[in-house]
Structure 1
Amino acid sequence: MNYENPSSLGLYKKPLQKKTIEKNNYLNLPDLHFFLMCQQHHRVNKGVFNTIDHWFYEYGIVNIIDRRNYVLAFLEYVTEGNSQPNHHKYLKFGNGGLTRRLHQFTKEKEIEKYII
């Protein structure tokens, strides 16, 4: 099995873990940088991002790292579920659509259709 040495950590990891480690690095970014990463990769505006973050907080996910995992998983879920080509600058949910999608996501997560 091939192992590679992460640059400054001096630890060994399997190559398959690269995406997980990179995702963990994103989770520890300062708030603004985490939002900008989400905006760049998922076309989410600040208002929608804050609503998602607040919704998960109210849902009971208080730990910031866990909540950021949920935010990223939700954004991936929304992006994957959007089969139509979207030419908008930002994700669009429509009136009440964001809350509906958040409920749908958490319901599917609870029955383990979508694993975080």
Structure 2
Amino acid sequence: MLTTNVNVPDYTFQKSIEKNFGINRGIYNRIDEWFFEQGIQDVMTRRQVIVEFSNFVVESKMKMGTSARTRFGHGGLVKRLNDFWNVRPFVIEEAIK
């Protein structure tokens, strides 16, 4: 499991996500927005959930034996976000408290 310091400026955090998980700025922004829309309004908590989601995606890629840049395809990002939301309820419950 990769970790990222969530207590840094936004640009630094996003670049860390890109470096560690291969998620570019545009996708990162959409992920951030999606979690905000789900009720995770605290920035630090949302960043922690983004790291957890990124690890979730990387774990899935490793099981499939791929290691290239993270790609989701058409509609794939929202599907993965929903998968994460449903599979990792303990993370979500803590985040929206």
Displacement, 1:115? 9.4
1:45-89 CA-partner distances (Å, limit 9, x unpaired): 1110000000000000000011001100000000001123233xx
Partner of 2:56: 77
Residue 45 of structure 2 aligns with an amino acid whose one-letter code is D
TM-score by length of 1: 0.70
Aligned counterparts of 1:40 and 1:114: Cα–Cα separation in 2: 24
Matches within 5 A, 1:1-116: 23=4, 26-82=5-61, 83-87=64-68, 90-110=69-89, 112=90
Relative contact order (C-alpha < 8 Å, sep 6+): which is higher? 2
Structure 2 contact 17–51 (Cα < 8 Å) conserved: yes
Specify every segment of 5 or more residues in structure 1 that has no aligned partner in the other structure, as ranges. Answer: 1-21
Q: Which structure 2 residue ranges, 5 or more long, are not aligned?
A: none
Distance 2:45 2:9 in 1: 15
Distance 2:74 2:21 in 1: 20
The CA deviation at 1:114 is: 9.2
Q: Is the contact made by 2:32 and 2:46 (CA closer than 8 Å) also made in structure 1?
A: yes
Number of residues of Structure 1 aligned to a counterpart in Structure 2: 90
TM-score calculated relative to the size of structure 2: 0.83
User: Which structure dedicates a bigger proportion of its chain to helix?
Assistant: 2
